[in-house]
Structure 1
């Protein structure tokens, strides 16, 4: 029993080391398409403020300061009757003034939820998929 507790102690501490992003400003721009699901966006705002990010939406020109962070959250529901929900969160480091495909990915995680089937729209599945990802979002350290 003591051996199991010791192993768990070491694995959680090593996970905590890698679950951090060192950045000089912790400034994070959020893609406006992430705001399409208002309930998940409000949860995202709370999560990011808890993790130490200074965040705001992209402006209309989608400009960003090079070497700053930006986040995209993709939420997709699919299915005929009971819709399954796919949620993906990605944090990237910008190389230029606008986001590009070859920017460095610092964090990328996704979750697909098919159950529980309480409603046809799948709102509870989207909330659960977001919760699956939320504990993995790294903390920003200046």
Structure 2
């Protein structure tokens, strides 16, 4: 009797661990083609990293030209990189054994932080709209590593941090 309970319990844990290893959300598409719309100006290295992130998740990236029309149901990926030159600093004091914020101010940064925002969307119409169906959105801010003053390496790390939960594409 005890042996059968132990066996049933171990089987339940094993099946739960196998289910936990599967992807929670998988986007199923016949071609897995995704259009990449990026606002990266002339940063070619960052653009290559965006393509690597998309390919790692099983999508086939295609670069979207600004005036290109989409088809209804096309998937597109928007990326925005922003270098933050200031950060909010909170000044605190201890009052009655508790730490309280007394004031806040903006401090200029020598080593710039990098913020990366992106979204994976499905087009409702032939052009890109703000109210298209959002499949995934991610944001990440990186302050480290501080190798260069410009912060390009922080932007690449922020991109990889924010892309962890992008749903993989299976065809």
| Match of residue 17 from structure 2 | 9
TM-score, normalising length: structure 1: 0.81
What is the number of equivalent residue pairs in this alignment? 136
Q: Which has the larger radius of gyration?
A: 2
Residue segments in structure 2 that go unaligned for 5+ positions in a row? 1-9, 86-107
The equivalences for 1:1-142 within 5 A come to 9=17, 12-13=20-21, 16-18=23-25, 20-34=26-40, 36-79=42-85, 80=108, 81-142=110-171
Q: Deviations for 1:26-63, whole angstroms, at most 9, x for unmatched residues?
A: 22111142464322211221222232212211234231
How far did residue 131 of structure 1 move? Answer: 1.9
> Normalized per residue, which structure has more helix?
1
> Normalized per residue, which structure has more strand?
2
Residue segments in structure 1 that go unaligned for 5+ positions in a row? none
Q: CA RMSD in A?
A: 2.4
> Which contiguous aligned blocks of 4+ residues in structure 1 show a shift greater than 3 angstroms?
6-12
